[in-house]
Amino acid sequence: MSQTAGKLGMVTLDSEVVPSSLVEIAPILRVANEVEASNPRVAYLCRFYAFEKACKLDPTSSGRGVPQFKTALLQRLEHENETTLAGRQQSDARDMQNFYQHYYKRYIQALVNSTNKDDRAQLRKEYQTSSVLLEVLKAVNQTEDVEVPDEVLEAHTKVEEKIQIDVPYNNLPHDPDSQNLAITRFPKIQATVTALCNTRGLPWPAGHEKKLDEDMLDWLQTMFGFQKDNVVNQRENLLLLLTNVHIRQFPRPEQQPKLDDRAVTIVMKKLFKTYKKWCKYLGRKSSLWMPVIQQEVQQRKLLYICLHLLIWGEAANLRFMPACLCYIYHHRRACEFNSS
């Protein structure tokens, strides 16, 4: 966890290796290590805030490795307070405010205004660092009984909005800023996205404010309460699944942004193979049915597929019990879905 370094008995605190009961302070220590070269006093304030938070998280130091960790961190703070105090320009609150504003303009604003939108991971990292800095700034200001300036709060409000939109992803980005990325401009990806966004005729709950980019999975989440992260994961899963089948069709589909219905049918047959066997074995009539209007058939197929994947995503260990999943789909969700 820590290593003795130098004649002063200083310790190098690894922000990624902290006791399990204090894992919440790891991001704060990481930020302290990052900003130390440019502003040692801000780094000290971050570590001091991390120490205060550690005392609240485990006040009795009963967690494994916590006493040693706190002792090492306190020793470092005592030394750094003396060495960094001389470099303080005004007050800790004022220095933290100036540093936050400088960081926001130099790193976040510069990246947001840049024409190069590909370095999204770096921007996400800067958002996280900014959030930690504001958290420390608020703590310092509270200690000195100073209000956080409105311009700082306004700037961070924009950061929080971006954090809510710019969520981590596996292969495909989901936020509006990703529309210009090469992978999202791929015609087959656009065809699948367009098909999933066809929510025409679906009854949204009263009072629901529909957004422009909402799709079938958002509708199912609104109607049945699926978890947000599950919806995000299954959207990406389905986009790649349909796109891969779509591009393998022969003769090849036209380049126009329209999902080949053959791809939808193939994916649906594969996903519902077990469910249909289950219905046949029990002598039950399948809950799957298609509308008379041909233009609505693909939408209905996609809705069934989305519903199946969202239930599968929520099922956790039940994924290994296909019969249970079939029962849940048949008796609960599919019936409710058809009745809507």
Task: Reply yes or no on whether the pLDDT at 319 is more than 70.
Answer: no
Q: Is 244 contained in some domain?
A: yes
Residues 270 and 187 in one domain: yes
8 pLDDT above the threshold of 50 = no
Judgement on whether residues 84 and 127 belong to the same structural domain of the protein: yes
Helix/strand/coil (H, E, C) string of 221-252?
HHHHCCCHHHHHHHHHHHHHHHHHHHHCCCCC
Q: Is 90 exceeded by the pLDDT of residue 125?
A: no
Q: Which of 143-147, 150-154, 187-191, 314-318 has the highest mean pLDDT?
A: 143-147
Mean pLDDT of 112-139: 74
Helix residue ranges per DSSP H, 36-149 = 40-57, 66-85, 92-103, 110-113, 120-143
- The reported pLDDT for the residue numbered 118 is 53
Check whether residue 157 and residue 184 sit in a common domain: no
Determine the pLDDT at residue 6. 36
Average pLDDT over residues 273-296: 89
Instruction: Give the span between the Cα atoms of 19 and 55, in whole angstroms.
Output: 13
At position 290, the amino acid (one-letter code) is M
- Is 276 part of any domain? yes
The reply to whether 126 and 183 lie within a common domain is no
Residues 278 and 304 in one domain: yes
Of 248, 261, 269, the residue nearest 191 (C-alpha): 261
Assess if residue 110 is contained within a domain.
yes
Instruction: Based on the fold, state whether residues 214 and 255 are members of the same structural domain.
Output: yes
Last residue of a domain, one of 101, 131, 165: 165
Distance CA 71, CA 77 (A): 10
Is 60 exceeded by the pLDDT of residue 116? no
Could you tell me if residue 170 is inside a domain?
no
Range of the domain at 234: 176-339
Whole-number pLDDT of residue 25: 93
Look at 340 and 133; give whichever has higher pLDDT.
Answer: 133
Distance CA(280)–CA(283), nearest Å, equals 5
- What percentage of the chain has pLDDT greater than the value 70? 77
The pLDDT value given to residue 275: 92
pLDDT at 3: 39
SS3 of residue 1 by DSSP: coil
| Structure tokens, 223 | 């109607």
Q: What confidence score (pLDDT) does residue 1 get?
A: 40
* Interatomic CA distance for residues 238 and 253, integer angstroms: 19
Q: In terms of pLDDT, which residue wins out, 39 or 109? A: 39
Q: What is the mean pLDDT of the chain?
A: 81
Q: What is the C-alpha separation between 149 and 142, in angstroms, rounded?
A: 13
User: Does residue 191 share a domain with residue 147?
Assistant: no
Tell me what the mean pLDDT of segment 1-20 comes to. Answer: 51
Number of domains in the chain: 2
Give domain status of residue 319, yes or no: yes
CB neighbour list of residue 31: distance below 8 Å, 6 or more residues apart: 46, 129, 132, 133, 136
Residue 303 has pLDDT above 90, yes or no: yes
Cα(247)–Cα(156) distance, integer angstroms: 43
* Amino acid 335: pLDDT: 54
Are residues 27 and 69 part of one domain? yes
Asked which of 165, 185, 217 is the last residue of a domain, the reply is 165
pLDDT at 73: 92
Higher pLDDT: 109 or 326? It is 326
Question: Does 171 map to a domain?
Answer: no
Exposed (0-12), middle (13-18) or buried (19+): which is 180, by Cβ within 10 Å? exposed
Mean pLDDT computed over 114-139: 75
Above 80 in pLDDT, residue 157?
Answer: no
Q: Are residues 244 and 278 in the same domain?
A: yes
Q: Tally the C-alpha atoms within 13 A of residue 137's C-alpha that lie toward its C-beta.
A: 21
Please indicate, yes or no, if residue 317 is contained in any of the structural domains: yes
pLDDT in tens, 243-260: 889 888 777 655 556 888
11, part of any domain: yes
Report the alpha-carbon distance of residue 325 to residue 308 in Å, rounded. 9
The first and second tokens of residue 109, run together, are: 């604003």
CATH number at 128 reads 1.25.40.270
Continuous segment of H or E residues that includes residue 196: helix 187-196
- Pair (52, 119) in one structural domain: yes
DSSP string, 61-94: --STTHHHHHHHHHHHHHHHHHHHHTT--S-HHH
pTM over 0.75: no
* Same domain as 215, residue 114: no
Q: Are residues 265 and 220 part of one domain?
A: yes
Domain boundary residue among 138, 165, 192? 165
Q: State the greatest distance between any 2 C-alpha atoms of the chain, in Å, as a whole number.
A: 82
Question: In angstroms, rounded to a whole number, what is the distance separating the alpha carbons of residues 204 and 125?
Answer: 36
